[in-house]
Homo-oligomer: A and B are copies of this chain.
Amino acid sequence: MPTASGHTEAIRATKVIGTDVYNPGGDKIGKIEDVVLDKTSNNIMFAVVGFGGFLGMNEKYHPLPWSSLDYQKGRDGYVVGYSKDQLKAGPAEGIDELTKNDGEALRDKVYDYYNAPRYWQ
């Protein structure tokens, strides 16, 4: 679980956006389309991943817990430890729906679905 320790790993949002996303097997599954910020708590809520044509879902955006992304230098991309089937069945929304009602319901749904550690209490 990420903790607010002294160590940092700074990255600009405009560098994150557009980065490829892979599964552990090395298949490219999409790219980062945006990042959803949680203004109130100063936290990063989601990485927004678009799967393009690869999984056959063109119109929907997949919010993933930011902490689930592991940057791998050799691949110049992020790796997420989820299977295609898991991602396919995961929460997906239109771009404006991602921040609807301040994202609270979607946040809970996504973190529960991926069984990701919560950054809030």
Contact = CB atoms under 8 A, between A and B. Distances in A.
A89 interface: no
A107 B8 contact: yes
A108 to B, nearest CB: 9
B120 A71 contact: no
A11 B40 contact: no
Given A13-B35, A17-B13, A35-B13, A8 B42 contact: no
Given A4-B43, A39-B71, A11 B120 contact: no
Question: On chain A, which size bracket covers the interface?
Answer: 35 or more
Contact of A14 (B3, B34, B66): B34
Most chain B CB within 10 A, of A40, A67, A98, A104, is at A40
13 contacts: A7-B102, A8-B45, A8-B120, A10-B37, A10-B106, A12-B34, A12-B95, A13-B16, A13-B35, A14-B34, A37-B66, A39-B66, A44-B44
